[in-house]
Structure 1
Amino acid sequence: MVEVTVTARRRTERAQEVPAPMSVVRGDDLKASLISQVQDLQQALPSTNAAFSQPRVSSVAVRGIGSNPANEGLEGSVGLVVDNVYQGRPGMLAIDLVDLEQVELLRGPQGTLFGKNTTAGVLNLTTRKPTFAPEHSIELSGGQRGYYQALASLSGPLSTTLAGRLSVSKTHDDGWLRNRHDGRRYNSVDREGIRGQLLYRPDASFDLRLIADYHREDDTQGTLVPYGFGPAAPGKLDWQAAAAAALGLPAGSRPIDTDPRSHQVDFDSAQRMTAYLGGVSAEANWRLASGFQVTSVTASRFWTFRPRNDNDLTPAPGLTDGGFSVKHRQFSQELRLASPSGGRFDYVLGAYYYHQNIGDDFTTAMGPKADILVLNNTAGLGIVDNTFGRSHGQGTTDSYALFGQGNWHVNDRLDVTVGLRGTHESKDGRVYREALAGGRALSTYPAAARAVVAATRGAIGGAYDSGDLHVSGNAPSGLATASYKVTPALLAYATLSHGEKSGGISISGVGSAPTLGAQSLKIEPEKADNLELGVKSGWWNNRLLVNVNYFRTRIQDYQTNAFVQGPVTKVLILTNAGDVQSDGVEFDVKARPARGLSLTFTGSYNDAHYTRFADAPAAAELAATGATRADLAGRPVVGAPKWILNPGGRYEWRLGDDVRQYLIANFAWRSRAEGYIDNSRFARIGAYGLLNVATGWRFGAGDRQWDVSLWARNALDRRYFLAAQASQLTGGGGYSAAAGAPRTVGATGRLEF
């Protein structure tokens, strides 16, 4: 078995000797498993759910915690870290996973050592460093639907003390959703990126790693499909009836395709998104003669997102455009001191600073049928027909932290680890909305209707300014672990930990503030208490590794957002969704039973449910009774399947002296899960299993090797869905969903030299 090392405790250690629930996947294994995007990582990691439709509407959840839709005032429950740099928005990982060394998933609160506080875990990605020996590769792939991908990586010495690495990528897919309205394909992919690195190492006591990267995406990713058709609220038209009325079709017509597995949409406006991200970082390490190591990580990053969306998902001109354009900037500085290893006590101490500046602009453009589709109003007044609205949000965050974690090696078998982090965060924000513009002039309405028209327009899009808002507070995080080596190859451990995610200010639209006041834009911190009991074991000279752990996590004031019914239309609010409890078992098994054969099996059972959620949004079936709120206590948390099972295997054998063939198969299965926060049965995501298979041949030896493979992603062509969201149409009872990609068959050629 290949020995895997990790930096989970900010020093290099064997993964099997770290008393913590974690999964590690090497970059080469991800590539062999046909995993090239963050949303696909759930196919290799236990207790993980990645809900990605487009970069802004994305999230990563661990143990059912963190399946939160987009809000610029909301931080992820799972920390996303790339090369020791915390990524402030989930969309900053909506890129091709190129030139990865490995991925580490740490489960449970990880605030004591990793950047910003987290309540559910950390996804830690490490890219390959520059090398002082030449190391080059070129890879070309092609497949169905015009799919192609080109990857290249060049690494080597620039002098005796300086090495460089350059990685580039380009990915294209024509798309696989067909629009019946104009015949175009959607959910296309068009991404490209470049990453350059320099490694300066004058001697063994110092090294400096400089990284600069830039990525661009311009495509139709994020196109949703009509998914669930629930009943309408009393006195309202359901989604189908509203669309039929807007199109002038007879009552009872069903103009929207009711089979989401047909991969068809029908809308009349454009769908597109662009995203730009990148940044620079510098990591310096000083290894002192005393054995101490000082590490400094300085980074600046940016992320820009611009969408265009037909938000009614019908061929009628209702919500012809709408979405949030976002500009995010961040700066972080981390300084760590690690003591020498090998003694009775070792420790890591550090300080961390993070600054974020983020702004968004929300645009709503309504067409000549907006009264029917948006307001559910067939009176013909044209209250919001052909109107245009815009709101703006701005927020800043300053986070300061001191942290430390120590390991007391009581004897050769027993270790005790204690960690503590103190964080102070200060946030400022403001939202304001311009008055609804355009449409029919008020003076042209009959006198008796003017008051109704003016009041409705004011409730939907009246001018509003929250003024300056501020939240601040101190958040402690802590960890205590006892581990015992029962045998040299069997480690048992128990952990108690506490993590907090800071409160925030919703800057994504004005939400309910015009009616409930500006203070309703604030949310409380999310707090987690966690218990872990686990074992890590190696058998048969480490040809079999078996890691199993039990966990119980309790979350107080779980943060999320949802569409709720406002005075006239649905509004998006940021809220604390009561309390959550997550209980389960996770396992990670790796085996090499015979020469050339390797097997893996990861999985989890997780019961994640709300223990208190008395003011939840009402599902369509409940709203049909007239209710506007629901009590979800005891119900499952959105996006949290009870079972996740990921078996896989690879077999390689020689065909000749310089030719080897391999077979790879990986299967990822997850049970059904709630698709939207209101737990509607019309938004539920069904169970599904995905099979990826490949066969290939490696030619050559030494410094030049070829690899040619044939592969199939989602080989069984399973039609599956990642997450759902409620329709924005008043009273409509409908849900849309992000569909997973269908079967893709292709070939890849790779040259290493």
Structure 2
Amino acid sequence: MQQKKLVVALAAAYGLGWTVLAQASPAELAVATAALNGTTLVAAAGGGALAGTLAAADAGAAPAAAGGAAAGAESADAASADGSAATAAADASLDVIARVTVSARRRVESSQSVPTTLSVLDSSALEGNRVYRVQDLQQLLPSTTVNYVHARQMSFAVRGLGNNPASDGLEGSVGVYLDNVYLARPGMAAFDALDIQQLELLRGPQGTLFGKNTTAGVLNITSKQPTYRSENSAQLAYGQQGYVQGKAVLSGAFSDTAAGRIAVYKTHEDGYITNIHTGKKVQGGDRDGVRAQVLLEPDANFSARLIADYNREDSNNGTLVFYNAGPSGKFLAQAAAVGGHPVTDPSLRQVNLDSGSHVEVHQGGVSGELNWKLANDYKLTSISAARLWNFTPHNDDGLDVPVTLNVGSAARHRQFTQELRLATPLGQPVESVFGAYYYYQNLDNINFTYNGPLADKFNGTPAGAWSNVTSIGNGHLRVNSYALFGQSIWHIDPQWDLTGGVRATYEDKLAQVTRDAPYGGVAVSGAALASRNARFGAYNSGEVHLNKLSPSALLTLAYKVDTDVLAFASASHGEKSGGINLSVPGAAGVSSLKVNNEKANNLELGVKSNLLGRRVQLNASLFWNDVSGYQSNAYDPVSATSYLTNAGTVRSRGLELDSSVVLARGFTVSANGSFNDVKYKEYKNAPCPPERTGAFCDLSGRAALVNAPRWIGNLAAQYATAVAANVEAYGNVNYAYRSSTYGTLDASEYARIPAYSLTNLSAGLKLRQGSTRWDVSLWAKNLFDKQYYTSMWNTSPGAYNTVIGTPRQIGLTARADF
């Protein structure tokens, strides 16, 4: 038991998951303890897996807390025998940049020792900035955009690449992982940040170890593990717009070899858009979820982490606000013809909807991660997971009269993944990870349109053609994906490392798209029947097969200028597999069902540095990414639907900076930013905007990618100081800026998203009463109540809707840890 306490204390000080240290020998723990008490890591770490791990974590520097001072200090309280050493390390971290560990190379190591461009947000950063949903991450991260309408129409983009939401038949360009499990749909991450340890954003193609469709980057989400000491918390937050959120966590030991953790949350929001038709608020609702875990460690050579989670949403998210009617104003004329009264000023944050929008989401899964320490310090890892995602929408037509009663797509997604990895011992001249990966997906969607009695009058179709007609279509997709991968690091000498990796992914996709004959409405013939069948007629694609091999590769050369400065250059190739659109094709025809691979070739130069005794951290990178077959959303005006297509060849190049400075004890200022020169190298058959005539337009050479700001900047400051015995005051402020960008694929000036900036702040007190720690904070999001828009969407005919950002929200949060 004494050894386990020592393990916990060391884990807190070094910022490592304690299971890493739990598999160390008593001799290795003695080495680590010596290092913790001031012995140089390089001198103390005489060998073995633990020594290699510690040496990777900024050799020669004093150990610091994991994921920020607060997290490290809390963990350090666990071990009475060795708590003083861990507490001293946590106190020291107030004067230096805290060490952060990541698993970007499927090994636990310091983020500053990894020759990859990445950013890390720990739990304290998320809480301090009141970021509790992934769609707000763009306010903290460089080169990042989150397109969000609701859980189905959601996408992550990095360096301008990846804005391709709302396709059931294709994964995103940015891979999302939750506790080492790949989430096939970006919307599967649309839950509240529940008991999160940290988020890692890896930018650029990740090729090998994160090779499942990651041509733009990876968002790696890690939840907190079960602890052997009691770690319990309860939190309640209240704010404007009817915001109420409660969270609770219980964690502790069942025995010396087993621990458990359970976390729950429930969130309610009234919404911030007024539906003047009903007088009620929309763009709010209810979300709740639970995550339960068990950690089993019967001996030093085996561990098992079992996780089950479930999340539910019942909301009216997805409420789009009218932005403008385009150059013709035809939408407003047609609305007036049927007696509609749309709200035409988006700054009013109002809509006029007779039926409104509604979203119901159910998602969850189970996973098991098993780790074996084999002979000679080899490590075998098995990760098995099954997940489900059910989405059911109700979408309004944007009017207060019955033109379209409900239109949209419901989806039922099931997936199973299995990954096996073998890692060679650390601390050797060559360190490698080899593995195999299998992914299975079964997805069904239902595309539906329920027209009202005014459909013909609004759309100008022959009498009886569309009015009161119902159309139901079905899409089915089955995916089998197989991959083999390997990556090795050759430590050429103490200063030079060469990393190489390859991955081969083969995918077999089978799909079928059908649409039943329309029903309802009156019996028609002639022109009315032709119009009805053209828009809603029966369709059967038959079986559509897509079989693709997608290779990925990585080569990185890293040079340790000294113990605090790392320079690197990398070349990588990533491929995002092709897909199949699961909706009936419109004007683009049957050929639009299939989408080819997206291929990315990336060059990168980077430097990571800790300066002035680790009081300054400065990281920078230059990147150049050429993408062929870029996958993006297009809008079909004939069917009034969006579909994915290969939008030509794209070049993304630019500069990223990420820095932190400890100005005084407890006072840290951080800044990150990106300049992204992203444009189409060739895209000759782009859809034309309404201000231009023709079926296709040439966007070649134009910086016209969807939601790809040229400039992104984020500035943050944190200050904490003791004001009395057992009382600490703290404050956080965050400023985020995004330059103007196009909002739709047609690059219309009528759909341009204006530049905007947001300011968030929080201030609070932490106090300790016995074994209980209290944290009470006052916070404000969008402090200056800026009017801003996060995405634009085409609507027929030639008009645009928008997702409007949240107004100022002031609230109070109280938390108890016990």
For Structure 1 versus Structure 2, the TM-score category normalised by the shorter chain is over 0.9
1:5 to 101, 116, 127: 101
The within-5 A match list for 1:690-705 is 690-700=758-768, 703-705=771-773
The answer to whether the Cα contact below 8 Å between 2:167 and 2:643 also exists between their aligned partners in 1 is no
Structure 1 position 415, deviation (Å): 0.5
Give the equivalent residue in structure 1 for 2:183. Answer: 87
1:403 to 462, 485, 488: 485
The 1:358/1:557 distance shift into structure 2, 3 A limit, reads same
Greater Cα offset, 43-52 or 628-637? 628-637
Whole-Å Cα distance in 2 between the matches of residues 147 and 200 of structure 1?
A: 38
Give the equivalent residue in structure 1 for 2:73. Answer: none
The answer to whether the Cα contact below 8 Å between 2:179 and 2:222 also exists between their aligned partners in 1 is yes
Give the equivalent residue in structure 2 for 1:598. Answer: 668
What is the SS of the residue equivalent to 1:194? strand
1:543 to 612, 615, 638: 615
Structure 1 position 115, deviation (Å): 5.1
Structure 1 position 430, deviation (Å): 0.3
2:526 corresponds to 1:458: no
The 1:721/1:372 distance shift into structure 2, 3 A limit, reads same
The within-5 A match list for 1:440-519 is 440-442=522-524, 450-507=525-582, 509-512=583-586, 518-519=590-591
The within-5 A match list for 1:579-594 is 579-594=649-664
2:781 corresponds to 1:685: no
Whole-Å Cα distance in 2 between the matches of residues 326 and 461 of structure 1?
A: 20
Give the equivalent residue in structure 2 for 1:41. Answer: 137
What is the SS of the residue equivalent to 2:287? strand
Scaled by the length of structure 2, the TM-score of the pair is 0.87
Structure 1 position 734, deviation (Å): 0.6
Give the equivalent residue in structure 1 for 2:51. Answer: none
1:646 to 714, 722, 744: 714
What is the SS of the residue equivalent to 2:555? strand
Whole-Å Cα distance in 1 between the matches of residues 539 and 276 of structure 2?
A: 39
2:812 to 737, 747, 752: 747
The within-5 A match list for 1:498-577 is 498-507=573-582, 509-512=583-586, 518-566=590-638, 569-577=639-647
Residue-by-residue CA offset, 1:604-653 (whole Å, 9 max, x unaligned): 1101111111111111211xx4x222111122211100111010011111
Structure 1: which 5+ runs fail to align?
249-254, 443-449
Whole-Å Cα distance in 2 between the matches of residues 277 and 467 of structure 1?
A: 30
Structure 1 position 721, deviation (Å): 1.2
% identity of equivalent residues = 46
Whole-Å Cα distance in 2 between the matches of residues 545 and 464 of structure 1?
A: 59
Whole-Å Cα distance in 2 between the matches of residues 364 and 679 of structure 1?
A: 28
The 1:287/1:701 distance shift into structure 2, 3 A limit, reads farther
Give the equivalent residue in structure 1 for 2:452. Answer: 367
The answer to whether the Cα contact below 8 Å between 1:199 and 1:208 also exists between their aligned partners in 2 is yes
Structure 1 position 574, deviation (Å): 2.4
What is the SS of the residue equivalent to 2:753? coil
1:393 to 475, 496, 500: 475
Structure 1 position 82, deviation (Å): 0.5
Give the equivalent residue in structure 2 for 1:26. Answer: 122
What is the SS of the residue equivalent to 2:526? helix
Paired residue type of 1:386: N
Whole-Å Cα distance in 2 between the matches of residues 571 and 458 of structure 1?
A: 16
The answer to whether the Cα contact below 8 Å between 1:86 and 1:115 also exists between their aligned partners in 2 is no
Give the equivalent residue in structure 2 for 1:436. Answer: 518
2:326 corresponds to 1:247: no
Residue-by-residue CA offset, 1:399-447 (whole Å, 9 max, x unaligned): 10000000011111010000000111100000000112111212xxxxx
The answer to whether the Cα contact below 8 Å between 2:504 and 2:552 also exists between their aligned partners in 1 is yes
The answer to whether the Cα contact below 8 Å between 1:115 and 1:352 also exists between their aligned partners in 2 is no
Give the equivalent residue in structure 1 for 2:648. Answer: 578
What is the SS of the residue equivalent to 1:135? coil
The answer to whether the Cα contact below 8 Å between 1:478 and 1:499 also exists between their aligned partners in 2 is yes
Residue-by-residue CA offset, 1:57-86 (whole Å, 9 max, x unaligned): 000000010011211112100000000000
Give the equivalent residue in structure 1 for 2:377. Answer: 291
Structure 1 position 111, deviation (Å): 2.7
Whole-Å Cα distance in 1 between the matches of residues 197 and 741 of structure 2?
A: 32
What is the SS of the residue equivalent to 1:145? coil
Paired residue type of 2:473: S
2:304 corresponds to 1:208: yes
Give the equivalent residue in structure 2 for 1:163. Answer: 259
Whole-Å Cα distance in 1 between the matches of residues 160 and 460 of structure 2?
A: 35
The within-5 A match list for 1:650-665 is 650-665=718-733
2:389 to 303, 311, 318: 303
Paired residue type of 2:578: G
Paired residue type of 1:671: S
Structure 2: which 5+ runs fail to align?
1-96
Structure 1 position 517, deviation (Å): 5.2
2:359 to 273, 276, 296: 273
Give the equivalent residue in structure 2 for 1:719. Answer: 787
Whole-Å Cα distance in 1 between the matches of residues 389 and 561 of structure 2?
A: 48
Structure 1 position 511, deviation (Å): 1.7
Give the equivalent residue in structure 1 for 2:244. Answer: 148
What is the SS of the residue equivalent to 2:142? coil
The 1:277/1:20 distance shift into structure 2, 3 A limit, reads same
What is the SS of the residue equivalent to 2:336? helix
What is the SS of the residue equivalent to 1:609? strand
Give the equivalent residue in structure 2 for 1:315. Answer: 400
The answer to whether the Cα contact below 8 Å between 2:164 and 2:644 also exists between their aligned partners in 1 is no
Structure 1 position 516, deviation (Å): 5.9
Give the equivalent residue in structure 1 for 2:207. Answer: 111
Structure 1 position 598, deviation (Å): 1.2
What is the SS of the residue equivalent to 2:530? helix
Paired residue type of 2:513: V
Give the equivalent residue in structure 2 for 1:447. Answer: none
Whole-Å Cα distance in 1 between the matches of residues 577 and 164 of structure 2?
A: 15
Structure 1 position 565, deviation (Å): 2.9
What is the SS of the residue equivalent to 2:768? strand
Whole-Å Cα distance in 1 between the matches of residues 770 and 104 of structure 2?
A: 33
2:229 corresponds to 1:133: yes
Residue-by-residue CA offset, 1:92-126 (whole Å, 9 max, x unaligned): 01100111111100011113001513100000000
Give the equivalent residue in structure 1 for 2:798. Answer: 733
Whole-Å Cα distance in 1 between the matches of residues 154 and 248 of structure 2?
A: 28
Whole-Å Cα distance in 2 between the matches of residues 259 and 645 of structure 1?
A: 29
Structure 1 position 261, deviation (Å): 1.6
Paired residue type of 1:278: G
What is the SS of the residue equivalent to 2:812? strand
Scaled by the length of structure 1, the TM-score of the pair is 0.94
Whole-Å Cα distance in 2 between the matches of residues 24 and 376 of structure 1?
A: 53
What is the SS of the residue equivalent to 1:620? coil
Residue-by-residue CA offset, 1:344-363 (whole Å, 9 max, x unaligned): 11110000000001110011
Give the equivalent residue in structure 2 for 1:238. Answer: 330
Give the equivalent residue in structure 2 for 1:98. Answer: 194
Structure 1 position 193, deviation (Å): 0.1
Give the equivalent residue in structure 2 for 1:252. Answer: none
Give the equivalent residue in structure 1 for 2:9. Answer: none
2:699 corresponds to 1:632: yes
Paired residue type of 1:602: N
2:330 corresponds to 1:220: no
Q: Which structure has more RCO (C-alpha within 8 Å, separation ≥ 6)?
A: 1
The answer to whether the Cα contact below 8 Å between 1:726 and 1:735 also exists between their aligned partners in 2 is yes
Paired residue type of 1:511: P
